[in-house]
Structure 1
């Protein structure tokens, strides 16, 4: 059995490797500056950001059940991380909080807290994806023209440099570096045109973009187009393996009783888990194979990743939409792409840091601009419009809220609007009715919905007590309902007495307490048990026949 599964996995790996390999290079190029930028903004060592990306790729992807999700340091946690390091007084103490956050996430996975991810409305998730695309475009335009005042990977509307998204754009276009702009424009042209040539597309377009960017930056040396040092990637350069080992930092376990450490740990665990569940739901939406990722397993994988990160000197990890969407758009198919991108990050730090430091940020910004456009395509807006206002309004509100605040706040606002429409639809779909005229007046038949909850109580009560006087015969049919809330039954019984007192004929069909839909796990186990008994009976019968 084990040998068969192993051979099947190797066969699958080999079949998808050509897709995952090229996708991993794209994710590596996207993740590299993001890891560095987030570490810088968090007040942590630059190596901590790279180490977090490596762990997110190799460790989390190995345990995760999601085929396309990519984990790493998240921009949404920068303010929390920066504040926690300041509050705790030492980076080593903060690492202990990250370690504890990982343990908390594992517990959340064990108690099945991941089910929360199943309750995000699709209109909000699609709106969040489009918003992330717009944010990527708005935030990367300054880097594209050589204005690098904010860190690479900033997502919040109000930036850490006290600018906001729009004022940063205004200042960027007033201080254009023409060398960076030329590199970005050429990079975008390559990203768009290169895949159209089938023979050339064997080489990933982002790899060509990086090669061209490095070449042009070297050609511009000594000219008016020359790039400044802050226009290039900067990763730590290590001279030996021992020096590399010296970059690792370990948690201070003597602070385990410090209540501030536990507060930071719970804060990181909750925020990181929410961002992960949102990212997972979003990636499943854009997965071309429409696979469903196991949310509880993902929380445990994230917990293992954060424990590892805290143990060796990394930052908190989450599943990240930007990297994950880049993975999907680059053609990634399995977890191999995420694992490989972690390996490329590790090799880049150990073997070729000097070469990596020649890469212009503007060509990496072009890769992200291309990804951002794919997330916020005009066709997405058109599709949501055709689905109706109950889908379009939460979609647009989520986009505006995420762009003008931050990811979690924006999604929270979008959820409130979506819930309004969900409740309104729920209230209006409590029942159907049919009216038949008769000699003395009219007969009305109410057929209750399959699920009649407490939320339907007001609508049903209003409909029953608002019946015209000419209705002299009433039938309330709950035979098709699988669940009727007790409060609704009470309303119907009270109305029955009221109708009888007014001389009306009323009939209640199936208006009784009903159990809700059976637990799906028990239902599945019952089916499997039944199948097992049938197989045993068949074997016994065959044996007796022989």
Structure 2
């Protein structure tokens, strides 16, 4: 676990700076105590990171669950009641893992997964623009199109544009964001190749240090950064007040049916989001390692039970932190684990220092993450792959940008299924027409390897179009599966064929059968093919 520590340690620092505002922002967007987001981030890093089979995935509180959590806390009466649902949701995820339901993630098309990554990259950039210029003080990590304050992604961008035009933005936040972005670009493109120091000390750390120094030296000046544009970690007065930030489930409410409904909802959504993220991170992994998905569900379930027991939000594997880990050179799960320890020690030892970090600097870091996820080259490659890949890809992106993560993925998957059905309809058979001879048309129809009821329309259309006085050769030698619906069509057509002077020659493994009377019986007795 320690053999890649030279790469995992710098990557864990980047993930820490990305995770810190997201943990706080998601807690705020969920209507939960701020500390609950940090608990989830710590447990997701240390516990889930240690148990997971993913080498580069990072877990923590997810924006996709924020709306569910917000509604659940209100409907269940208290945050302590909600924590019972988190614990039960984790237990249900353990059952999912035991039942080996992790395979579900493999049934999502590659085009949808790539669309998910690109869509999240675009959302990250769009959502961070207001922070970059010191305009927006809304919850960090609120990645849904519609925000809890009634605004949406584009109204926030319009507010930012108006603030820039009117000069009402925080100039200090904008200056330090531009400085941070310049440092990040210079570090990754130039300095990282100049020596070991620049490889060990990462650009994001330098950018954050510069941001803190800028805040300290300018806070009383005209370009000072105001408090609402800084990280806001809870600062306990003493150790007892620190312990007082933890909350515990009210298990007396376990008989409440609404708690069980919430638990199943959390388990289903968190599991699906995790499996999709696993699929996406495996695609981003330079070493192309494959994460055991059932083990991942067990790890996530354990993490959610522990998080719920001590007052934390639900946990999933999350693509923003995972992609930041990959792009920063993380090689093993040590990166995720160490980032969890960084979160733990920092909120205990240096919360005051953390509260000096400008959000605009963290926005600059997320800009780089978002751009790497949504590179223009990705659009070009998907376009070159053809419309069957590009359409689900672009629908997924638009769905994520204009709704939320799960809706966007659902739309992309639906389009992908429609395309599969369309191609299945088109590829049910091959028709070869020969010249007319001996007064009859000679036509050969070769059925595909698998022919299902989806192909009924295409085959029926071709059979009805056959002219009178036709010799039809029906070749099923390569057909491994023939749906009963298709057999019934052939049976019905054999009656019509007699009236239209159409002779049918059925070619199968048993040879050629002339004008069979009973197709149902023929295919029932047909020898099965071996793989």
Superposed pair shares fold, TM > 0.5 = yes
Q: 1:515/1:283 Cα in 2 relative to 1: closer, same or farther (>3 Å)?
A: farther
1:190 aligns with 2:183: yes
Partner of 1:332: 330
Hey, what's the Cα distance between the residues in 1 that align with 2:490 and 2:331? 54
Q: Would the alpha carbon gap of residues 246 and 380 (structure 1) be closer, same or farther in structure 2, given more than 3 Å must change?
A: same
Residue 445 of structure 1 corresponds to which residue in structure 2? 444
Alignment-derived partner of residue 54 in structure 2? 66
The superposition leaves residues 216-248 of structure 1 with CA deviations (integer Å, 9 ceiling, x where unpaired) of 111212211101111111212235544433322
| SS of residue in 2 equivalent to 1:66 | coil
Superposition RMSD in Å: 2.0
State the alpha-carbon separation in 1 of the partners of residues 14 and 466 from structure 2.
64
Comparing 107-116 with 155-164, greater Cα deviation is found at 107-116
Partner Cα distance (1:259, 1:347) in 2: 38
CA contact (8 A) 1:149 1:161 kept: no
Offset at 1:285?
Answer: 2.3
Deviations 1:297-327 (A, max 9, x none): 2222211111111111101111111111111
Q: Tell me, in whole angstroms, the C-alpha distance in 2 between the residues paired with 1:465 and 1:235.
A: 72
Deviation by residue 1:461-492 (Cα, 9 ceiling, x = unmatched): 2222222336x222222221222212222222
Q: CA deviation at 1:516?
A: 9.5
Matches within 5 A, 1:258-269: 258-269=256-267
Equivalent residue in structure 2 for 1:393, among 384, 391, 406: 391
1:141 is the counterpart of 2:129: yes
Aligned residue for 2:504, secondary structure, equals: strand
| SS class of match (1:222) | coil
| Cα distance in structure 2, aligned partners of 1:65 and 1:453 | 38
Partner of 1:203: 201
Aligned to 1:118: 106
SS at match of 1:65: coil
In the aligned structure 2, how far is the partner of 1:444 from the partner of 1:63? 62
Of 382, 399, 415, the match for 1:417: 415
1:86 maps onto 2:74 in alignment: yes
* Alpha-carbon distance between aligned partners in 1 of 2:355 and 2:231, rounded to the nearest angstrom: 5
Distance 1:227 1:420, change over 3 A: same
Q: Per the alignment, do residues 454 and 229 of structure 1 end up closer, same or farther by CA in structure 2, a change over 3 Å counting? A: same
- Provide the C-alpha distance between the structure 2 equivalents of 1:347 and 1:58, rounded to a whole number of angstroms: 12
State the shift of 1:361 in Å. Answer: 0.9
| Corresponding residue number in structure 1 for 2:515 | none
CA contact (8 A) 1:482 1:515 kept: no
Residue range with higher mean Cα deviation, 67-76 or 461-470: 461-470
Shift of 1:517: 9.7
**Aligned equivalents of 2:21 and 2:144: distance in 1?**
17
Kept after mapping to 1: 8 A contact 2:137/2:229: no
TM-score w.r.t. length of structure 1: 0.88
In 2, the alpha carbon distance for the partners of 1:477 and 1:490 equals 17
Contact in 1 for aligned 2:184/2:204 (Cα 8 Å): yes
Structure-2 change in CA distance of 1:517 and 1:282 (3 Å): farther
Give the conservation status (yes or no) of the 8 Å contact 1:49–1:315: yes
Distance of aligned partners of 1:122 and 1:516 in 2 relative to their CA distance in 1, 3 Å threshold:
farther
- CA deviation string 1:134-176 (max 9, x = no partner): 1111110111111233101111111111111111122223131
Match of 1:103 in 2: 91
How many residue pairs match? The answer is 506
Counterpart secondary structure, 1:15: coil
Contact 1:42 1:79 in 2 (8 A): yes
> Is 2:148 the partner of 1:155?
no
Decide whether the 8 Å contact of 1:434 with 1:444 is kept in 2. yes
Q: Which residue of 2 aligns with 1:402?
A: 400
User: Which ranges in structure 2 are unaligned for 5 or more consecutive residues?
Assistant: 509-521
Please say if residues 52 and 316 of structure 1, whose CA atoms lie closer than 8 Å, have aligned partners that are also in contact: yes
1:9-408 equivalences under 5 Å are: 13-173=1-161, 174=163, 175-195=168-188, 196-197=190-191, 198=193, 199=195, 200-408=198-406
Identify the range of structure 1 (98-107 vs 488-497) with the bigger mean alpha-carbon deviation.
488-497
The equivalent of 1:496 in structure 2 is 494
Tell whether the 8 Å contact from 1:483 to 1:515 is kept in structure 2 after alignment.
no
In the alignment, does 2:523 pair up with 1:512? yes
**Corresponding residue for 1:533?**
none
**CA–CA distance in structure 1, aligned partners of residues 367 and 288 of structure 2:** 25
The whole-number CA distance in structure 2 between the counterparts of 1:224 and 1:431 is 75
Alignment partner, residue 534 of structure 1: none
What's the CA shift for 1:332?
1.7
CA contact (8 A) 1:483 1:516 kept: no
What SS does the corresponding residue of 2:38 show, helix, strand or coil?
A: helix
Instruction: Structure 1: give runs of 5+ residues left out of the alignment.
Output: 1-12, 524-546
Q: Distance in 1 between matches of 2:341 and 2:30?
A: 24
Change in 2 beyond 3 A, CA 1:516/1:275: farther
Secondary structure (helix, strand or coil) at the match of 1:473 reads strand
